[in-house]
Structure 1
Amino acid sequence: MGKDQVVNVGQRTSLYRMISRLEDAGLIVAGDTERDERYPERTVYRVTDAGRSATRQWLAEILAAPRNEFPEFPAALSFVLMLPPETAPELLSERRGRLQEQIAALDTDLAIQAGEHRLPRVALLETEYVRAVTHAELQWVTAVTAELADGSFTWNRRELDALASGAHAPNGTGSE
Protein backbone atom coordinates (compact mmCIF):
# COMPACT_ATOMS: atom_id res chain seq x y z
CA MET A 1 0.00 0.00 0.00
CA GLY A 2 2.85 2.41 -0.71
CA LYS A 3 4.55 2.08 2.68
CA ASP A 4 7.85 1.62 0.84
CA GLN A 5 7.75 5.40 0.29
CA VAL A 6 8.19 6.00 4.00
CA VAL A 7 9.66 2.79 5.46
CA ASN A 8 13.03 1.45 4.38
CA VAL A 9 12.78 -2.27 4.93
CA GLY A 10 15.89 -2.97 2.91
CA GLN A 11 16.51 -6.65 2.35
CA ARG A 12 14.22 -9.49 3.29
CA THR A 13 16.74 -10.64 5.92
CA SER A 14 16.46 -7.24 7.64
CA LEU A 15 12.69 -7.66 7.79
CA TYR A 16 13.00 -11.12 9.33
CA ARG A 17 15.51 -9.83 11.90
CA MET A 18 13.10 -7.03 12.82
CA ILE A 19 10.21 -9.49 13.18
CA SER A 20 12.39 -11.65 15.42
CA ARG A 21 13.33 -8.64 17.59
CA LEU A 22 9.68 -7.56 17.91
CA GLU A 23 8.69 -11.09 18.86
CA ASP A 24 11.55 -11.38 21.40
CA ALA A 25 10.43 -8.08 22.96
CA GLY A 26 6.88 -9.41 23.30
CA LEU A 27 5.46 -6.77 20.96
CA ILE A 28 4.11 -9.30 18.42
CA VAL A 29 3.21 -12.99 18.46
CA ALA A 30 3.04 -15.48 15.64
CA GLY A 31 -0.49 -16.36 14.67
CA ASP A 32 -1.81 -18.50 11.88
CA THR A 33 0.15 -19.76 8.91
CA GLU A 34 -1.50 -19.08 5.56
CA ARG A 35 -0.82 -20.37 2.12
CA ASP A 36 -1.88 -18.76 -1.15
CA GLU A 37 -1.26 -20.91 -4.22
CA ARG A 38 0.58 -18.00 -5.87
CA TYR A 39 2.91 -17.31 -2.91
CA PRO A 40 4.99 -19.28 -0.41
CA GLU A 41 3.60 -20.05 3.03
CA ARG A 42 3.51 -17.03 5.34
CA THR A 43 3.04 -16.46 9.04
CA VAL A 44 0.57 -13.82 10.18
CA TYR A 45 1.66 -11.94 13.29
CA ARG A 46 -0.58 -10.21 15.81
CA VAL A 47 0.28 -7.14 17.84
CA THR A 48 0.25 -7.79 21.60
CA ASP A 49 -1.14 -5.38 24.20
CA ALA A 50 2.46 -4.39 25.00
CA GLY A 51 3.08 -3.85 21.28
CA ARG A 52 -0.04 -1.73 20.96
CA SER A 53 1.02 0.39 23.95
CA ALA A 54 4.59 0.78 22.64
CA THR A 55 3.26 1.75 19.21
CA ARG A 56 0.97 4.42 20.65
CA GLN A 57 3.81 5.84 22.75
CA TRP A 58 6.14 5.88 19.72
CA LEU A 59 3.48 7.53 17.54
CA ALA A 60 2.80 10.21 20.16
CA GLU A 61 6.51 11.04 20.44
CA ILE A 62 7.11 11.12 16.67
CA LEU A 63 3.96 13.04 15.75
CA ALA A 64 4.35 15.67 18.48
CA ALA A 65 8.04 16.56 18.24
CA PRO A 66 10.09 17.16 15.09
CA ARG A 67 13.60 15.75 15.08
CA ASN A 68 16.51 15.76 12.71
CA GLU A 69 16.48 12.61 10.60
CA PHE A 70 19.78 13.31 8.78
CA PRO A 71 18.78 12.76 5.14
CA GLU A 72 21.58 12.46 2.56
CA PHE A 73 20.68 15.45 0.38
CA PRO A 74 21.45 18.17 2.97
CA ALA A 75 24.67 16.33 3.78
CA ALA A 76 25.64 16.46 0.09
CA LEU A 77 24.73 20.16 -0.02
CA SER A 78 27.15 20.81 2.82
CA PHE A 79 29.94 19.62 0.50
CA VAL A 80 28.74 21.21 -2.77
CA LEU A 81 31.47 23.84 -2.35
CA MET A 82 33.92 21.12 -3.39
CA LEU A 83 32.45 21.29 -6.91
CA PRO A 84 33.03 24.07 -9.38
CA PRO A 85 29.95 26.35 -9.42
CA GLU A 86 29.28 25.51 -13.07
CA THR A 87 28.83 21.81 -12.18
CA ALA A 88 26.14 22.31 -9.53
CA PRO A 89 23.36 23.60 -11.86
CA GLU A 90 23.79 20.55 -14.08
CA LEU A 91 23.43 18.16 -11.14
CA LEU A 92 20.60 20.11 -9.54
CA SER A 93 18.76 20.26 -12.86
CA GLU A 94 18.98 16.48 -13.07
CA ARG A 95 17.60 16.27 -9.52
CA ARG A 96 14.82 18.71 -10.47
CA GLY A 97 13.72 16.40 -13.30
CA ARG A 98 13.69 13.42 -10.98
CA LEU A 99 11.72 15.34 -8.36
CA GLN A 100 9.15 16.26 -11.02
CA GLU A 101 8.87 12.57 -11.93
CA GLN A 102 8.42 11.64 -8.26
CA ILE A 103 5.66 14.22 -7.83
CA ALA A 104 3.86 12.93 -10.92
CA ALA A 105 4.10 9.36 -9.60
CA LEU A 106 2.84 10.44 -6.17
CA ASP A 107 -0.07 12.31 -7.78
CA THR A 108 -0.96 9.20 -9.77
CA ASP A 109 -0.70 7.02 -6.66
CA LEU A 110 -2.89 9.40 -4.64
CA ALA A 111 -5.51 9.49 -7.41
CA ILE A 112 -5.60 5.69 -7.66
CA GLN A 113 -5.67 5.12 -3.91
CA ALA A 114 -8.39 7.72 -3.28
CA GLY A 115 -10.36 7.05 -6.48
CA GLU A 116 -10.22 3.42 -7.50
CA HIS A 117 -9.40 1.96 -4.09
CA ARG A 118 -11.56 4.48 -2.20
CA LEU A 119 -9.11 4.73 0.66
CA PRO A 120 -9.97 7.37 3.23
CA ARG A 121 -7.63 10.36 3.44
CA VAL A 122 -6.26 9.17 6.79
CA ALA A 123 -4.74 6.17 4.96
CA LEU A 124 -3.02 8.52 2.50
CA LEU A 125 -1.46 11.05 4.88
CA GLU A 126 2.09 9.75 4.49
CA THR A 127 1.84 9.98 0.69
CA GLU A 128 0.42 13.50 0.96
CA TYR A 129 3.32 14.43 3.25
CA VAL A 130 5.96 12.91 0.96
CA ARG A 131 4.42 14.81 -1.95
CA ALA A 132 4.41 18.11 -0.03
CA VAL A 133 8.04 17.70 1.05
CA THR A 134 9.07 16.68 -2.48
CA HIS A 135 7.25 19.71 -3.90
CA ALA A 136 8.99 22.03 -1.42
CA GLU A 137 12.36 20.53 -2.36
CA LEU A 138 11.55 20.98 -6.05
CA GLN A 139 10.78 24.67 -5.50
CA TRP A 140 14.02 25.17 -3.56
CA VAL A 141 16.16 23.28 -6.10
CA THR A 142 14.54 25.27 -8.94
CA ALA A 143 15.31 28.59 -7.20
CA VAL A 144 18.94 27.70 -6.43
CA THR A 145 19.47 26.38 -9.96
CA ALA A 146 18.13 29.66 -11.38
CA GLU A 147 20.45 31.70 -9.13
CA LEU A 148 23.44 29.61 -10.21
CA ALA A 149 22.42 29.99 -13.86
CA ASP A 150 22.03 33.80 -13.70
CA GLY A 151 25.22 34.26 -11.68
CA SER A 152 23.55 35.79 -8.62
CA PHE A 153 24.85 32.84 -6.57
CA THR A 154 28.34 31.50 -7.05
CA TRP A 155 31.59 30.72 -5.25
CA ASN A 156 35.25 30.40 -6.12
CA ARG A 157 38.19 28.46 -4.79
CA ARG A 158 40.18 31.57 -3.73
CA GLU A 159 37.38 32.85 -1.47
CA LEU A 160 36.79 29.41 0.02
CA ASP A 161 40.52 28.91 0.69
CA ALA A 162 40.67 32.35 2.36
CA LEU A 163 37.66 31.47 4.50
CA ALA A 164 39.23 28.14 5.48
CA SER A 165 42.49 29.82 6.46
CA GLY A 166 40.70 32.39 8.61
CA ALA A 167 41.74 35.30 6.40
CA HIS A 168 38.11 36.13 5.64
CA ALA A 169 35.40 36.07 8.29
CA PRO A 170 31.92 34.93 7.24
CA ASN A 171 30.50 38.43 7.86
CA GLY A 172 32.89 39.89 5.27
CA THR A 173 35.03 41.86 7.74
CA GLY A 174 38.13 39.69 7.50
CA SER A 175 40.08 38.45 10.51
CA GLU A 176 43.55 39.20 11.77
Structure 2
Amino acid sequence: MSAPAPRSSPLALTVLSLLHYRPLHPYGMQRLIKEWGKDQVVNVGQRTSIHRTVERLVAAGLVEVHEVERDEQYAERTVYRITEEGRRVAREWLLDMLGTPKPEYPQFPVALSFALMLTPEEALTVLDGRAAALARTVDALDARLADEDDDGLGRVIWLETEYQRAMAAAELRWLTAVTDDLRAGRLRWSWEELTGLAGPGAG
Protein backbone atom coordinates (compact mmCIF):
# COMPACT_ATOMS: atom_id res chain seq x y z
CA MET A 1 0.00 0.00 0.00
CA SER A 2 1.42 3.38 -0.99
CA ALA A 3 1.99 6.13 1.52
CA PRO A 4 -0.19 9.24 1.49
CA ALA A 5 0.78 11.75 -1.19
CA PRO A 6 3.58 14.00 0.08
CA ARG A 7 2.99 17.69 0.52
CA SER A 8 3.52 19.67 -2.63
CA SER A 9 6.85 21.41 -3.05
CA PRO A 10 8.58 23.17 -5.93
CA LEU A 11 11.12 20.37 -6.26
CA ALA A 12 8.54 17.58 -6.09
CA LEU A 13 6.47 19.27 -8.79
CA THR A 14 9.61 19.74 -10.89
CA VAL A 15 10.53 16.05 -10.62
CA LEU A 16 7.02 14.94 -11.58
CA SER A 17 6.95 17.43 -14.45
CA LEU A 18 10.27 16.18 -15.85
CA LEU A 19 9.11 12.58 -15.60
CA HIS A 20 5.90 13.60 -17.34
CA TYR A 21 7.99 13.92 -20.51
CA ARG A 22 10.17 10.84 -20.19
CA PRO A 23 11.74 8.43 -17.68
CA LEU A 24 14.92 9.76 -16.07
CA HIS A 25 17.47 8.92 -13.43
CA PRO A 26 18.15 11.54 -10.72
CA TYR A 27 21.37 12.72 -12.37
CA GLY A 28 19.45 13.27 -15.61
CA MET A 29 16.82 15.24 -13.71
CA GLN A 30 19.45 17.51 -12.20
CA ARG A 31 21.11 18.01 -15.59
CA LEU A 32 17.82 18.97 -17.26
CA ILE A 33 16.90 21.31 -14.42
CA LYS A 34 20.13 23.23 -15.05
CA GLU A 35 19.97 23.02 -18.85
CA TRP A 36 16.42 24.36 -18.88
CA GLY A 37 17.23 27.10 -16.36
CA LYS A 38 14.85 25.72 -13.76
CA ASP A 39 17.60 26.02 -11.15
CA GLN A 40 16.75 29.73 -11.17
CA VAL A 41 13.39 28.95 -9.58
CA VAL A 42 13.99 25.59 -7.84
CA ASN A 43 16.63 25.01 -5.18
CA VAL A 44 18.79 22.07 -6.27
CA GLY A 45 21.98 23.20 -4.59
CA GLN A 46 22.35 19.81 -2.91
CA ARG A 47 22.33 16.80 -5.22
CA THR A 48 20.88 14.61 -2.48
CA SER A 49 17.73 16.73 -2.39
CA ILE A 50 16.59 15.24 -5.71
CA HIS A 51 17.26 11.71 -4.47
CA ARG A 52 15.30 12.32 -1.27
CA THR A 53 12.42 13.81 -3.22
CA VAL A 54 12.34 10.85 -5.60
CA GLU A 55 12.32 8.46 -2.65
CA ARG A 56 9.31 10.24 -1.14
CA LEU A 57 7.48 10.18 -4.46
CA VAL A 58 8.20 6.47 -4.89
CA ALA A 59 6.91 5.74 -1.38
CA ALA A 60 3.72 7.65 -2.23
CA GLY A 61 3.18 5.72 -5.45
CA LEU A 62 3.64 8.80 -7.65
CA VAL A 63 6.87 7.54 -9.21
CA GLU A 64 8.13 4.02 -9.87
CA VAL A 65 11.26 2.30 -11.12
CA HIS A 66 11.35 2.08 -14.91
CA GLU A 67 14.66 0.25 -15.29
CA VAL A 68 18.13 -0.06 -13.82
CA GLU A 69 20.92 0.97 -16.18
CA ARG A 70 24.16 -0.96 -15.94
CA ASP A 71 27.25 0.23 -17.75
CA GLU A 72 30.91 -0.55 -17.14
CA GLN A 73 31.81 3.14 -17.42
CA TYR A 74 29.21 4.38 -14.93
CA ALA A 75 27.77 3.41 -11.59
CA GLU A 76 24.45 1.62 -11.66
CA ARG A 77 21.64 4.09 -12.26
CA THR A 78 17.98 3.68 -11.47
CA VAL A 79 15.65 5.25 -14.03
CA TYR A 80 12.24 6.36 -12.78
CA ARG A 81 8.93 7.03 -14.48
CA ILE A 82 5.79 8.78 -13.37
CA THR A 83 2.68 6.77 -12.52
CA GLU A 84 -0.88 7.66 -13.47
CA GLU A 85 -1.45 8.74 -9.89
CA GLY A 86 1.66 10.87 -10.18
CA ARG A 87 0.24 12.58 -13.26
CA ARG A 88 -2.99 13.28 -11.41
CA VAL A 89 -1.24 14.67 -8.34
CA ALA A 90 1.15 16.78 -10.44
CA ARG A 91 -1.81 18.38 -12.21
CA GLU A 92 -3.53 18.97 -8.87
CA TRP A 93 -0.41 20.61 -7.42
CA LEU A 94 0.10 22.71 -10.53
CA LEU A 95 -3.44 24.07 -10.50
CA ASP A 96 -3.15 24.87 -6.79
CA MET A 97 0.24 26.59 -7.08
CA LEU A 98 -0.86 28.66 -10.07
CA GLY A 99 -4.25 29.63 -8.71
CA THR A 100 -3.83 30.03 -4.96
CA PRO A 101 -1.60 32.79 -3.53
CA LYS A 102 0.16 31.53 -0.43
CA PRO A 103 2.59 33.10 2.06
CA GLU A 104 6.13 32.15 1.07
CA TYR A 105 8.07 33.84 3.90
CA PRO A 106 11.20 35.02 2.04
CA GLN A 107 14.14 36.37 4.04
CA PHE A 108 14.06 39.98 2.87
CA PRO A 109 10.76 41.04 4.49
CA VAL A 110 11.93 39.46 7.75
CA ALA A 111 15.11 41.53 7.65
CA LEU A 112 13.11 44.66 6.80
CA SER A 113 10.92 44.12 9.84
CA PHE A 114 14.04 44.48 12.01
CA ALA A 115 15.82 47.18 10.01
CA LEU A 116 15.32 49.52 12.98
CA MET A 117 18.18 47.67 14.67
CA LEU A 118 20.49 49.45 12.21
CA THR A 119 21.09 53.16 11.91
CA PRO A 120 19.51 54.86 8.90
CA GLU A 121 23.02 55.28 7.48
CA GLU A 122 23.75 51.56 7.78
CA ALA A 123 20.40 50.70 6.25
CA LEU A 124 21.09 53.03 3.33
CA THR A 125 24.43 51.39 2.65
CA VAL A 126 23.12 47.83 2.58
CA LEU A 127 19.97 48.74 0.63
CA ASP A 128 22.04 50.61 -1.94
CA GLY A 129 24.06 47.43 -2.36
CA ARG A 130 20.91 45.37 -2.76
CA ALA A 131 19.54 47.81 -5.32
CA ALA A 132 22.75 47.56 -7.35
CA ALA A 133 22.53 43.75 -7.28
CA LEU A 134 18.88 43.88 -8.35
CA ALA A 135 19.74 46.19 -11.24
CA ARG A 136 22.29 43.63 -12.44
CA THR A 137 19.68 40.89 -12.08
CA VAL A 138 17.17 42.84 -14.17
CA ASP A 139 19.81 43.42 -16.86
CA ALA A 140 20.72 39.72 -16.89
CA LEU A 141 17.08 38.67 -17.17
CA ASP A 142 16.51 41.18 -19.97
CA ALA A 143 19.48 39.73 -21.83
CA ARG A 144 18.23 36.20 -21.30
CA LEU A 145 14.76 37.04 -22.57
CA ALA A 146 16.25 38.74 -25.61
CA ASP A 147 18.76 36.02 -26.48
CA GLU A 148 17.10 32.72 -25.64
CA ASP A 149 15.70 30.58 -28.44
CA ASP A 150 12.23 29.26 -27.67
CA ASP A 151 12.66 26.19 -29.92
CA GLY A 152 9.36 27.07 -31.53
CA LEU A 153 7.41 26.60 -28.29
CA GLY A 154 6.65 30.28 -27.86
CA ARG A 155 6.41 32.63 -24.92
CA VAL A 156 4.97 30.10 -22.48
CA ILE A 157 8.37 28.55 -21.71
CA TRP A 158 9.71 31.93 -20.56
CA LEU A 159 6.85 32.90 -18.26
CA GLU A 160 8.83 32.19 -15.10
CA THR A 161 11.68 34.36 -16.40
CA GLU A 162 9.24 37.17 -17.21
CA TYR A 163 7.84 36.83 -13.69
CA GLN A 164 11.31 36.95 -12.12
CA ARG A 165 12.10 40.05 -14.15
CA ALA A 166 8.84 41.75 -13.15
CA MET A 167 9.38 40.97 -9.46
CA ALA A 168 13.00 42.13 -9.50
CA ALA A 169 12.08 45.35 -11.32
CA ALA A 170 9.22 46.06 -8.90
CA GLU A 171 11.48 45.53 -5.89
CA LEU A 172 14.13 47.75 -7.46
CA ARG A 173 11.60 50.57 -7.93
CA TRP A 174 10.50 50.26 -4.32
CA LEU A 175 14.08 50.11 -3.03
CA THR A 176 15.00 53.19 -5.03
CA ALA A 177 12.14 55.12 -3.42
CA VAL A 178 13.20 53.98 0.06
CA THR A 179 16.87 54.80 -0.44
CA ASP A 180 15.91 58.20 -1.89
CA ASP A 181 13.93 58.88 1.30
CA LEU A 182 16.84 57.75 3.46
CA ARG A 183 19.26 59.97 1.57
CA ALA A 184 16.94 62.97 1.83
CA GLY A 185 16.28 62.42 5.53
CA ARG A 186 12.57 61.80 5.01
CA LEU A 187 12.98 58.35 6.57
CA ARG A 188 14.73 58.54 9.92
CA TRP A 189 14.70 56.70 13.23
CA SER A 190 16.84 56.05 16.28
CA TRP A 191 17.01 52.96 18.42
CA GLU A 192 16.67 55.03 21.59
CA GLU A 193 13.43 56.63 20.41
CA LEU A 194 11.97 53.32 19.33
CA THR A 195 12.81 51.54 22.58
CA GLY A 196 11.36 54.49 24.46
CA LEU A 197 8.10 54.17 22.55
CA ALA A 198 7.98 50.47 23.43
CA GLY A 199 7.45 51.41 27.07
CA PRO A 200 8.96 50.13 30.32
CA GLY A 201 9.67 46.45 30.59
CA ALA A 202 10.01 45.99 26.82
CA GLY A 203 13.78 45.74 26.92
Which bracket does the TM-score occupy, shorter chain normalised?
A: 0.7 to 0.9
The alpha-carbon distance between structure 1 residues 62 and 95, as it changes in their structure 2 partners (threshold 3 A), is same
- Hey, what does 2:109 align to over in structure 1? 74
- Three-state SS of the structure 1 residue aligned to 2:121 is coil
Asked whether 1:83 is paired with 2:118, we answer yes
- Three-state SS of the structure 2 residue aligned to 1:29 is strand
Q: CA deviation at 1:31?
A: 2.4
Unaligned runs of 5+ in 1: 167-176
Point out 4+ residue stretches in structure 1 off by more than 3 angstroms: 32-36, 38-44, 115-119
C-alpha distance after superposition, 1:145-173 (max 9, x if no partner): 0100000111112320122117xxxxxxx
Q: Is the 8 A contact 2:64 2:83 kept in 1?
A: yes
Alignment of 1:1-176 (within 5 A): 1-32=36-67, 42-113=77-148, 115=149, 117-165=151-199
Between stretches 25-34 and 154-163, larger displacement belongs to 25-34
The alpha-carbon distance between structure 1 residues 116 and 14, as it changes in their structure 2 partners (threshold 3 A), is closer
Q: Distance in 1 between matches of 2:77 and 2:183?
A: 54
Higher relative contact order (CA 8 A, sep 6+): 2
- Three-state SS of the structure 1 residue aligned to 2:120 is coil
The alpha-carbon distance between structure 1 residues 90 and 43, as it changes in their structure 2 partners (threshold 3 A), is same
Q: What letter is aligned with 1:70?
A: Y
C-alpha distance after superposition, 1:78-109 (max 9, x if no partner): 11000011111110010011101111111222
- Three-state SS of the structure 2 residue aligned to 1:148 is helix
TM-score by length of 2: 0.73
Provide the alpha-carbon RMSD of the alignment: 2.4
Count of residue pairs brought into register by the alignment: 165
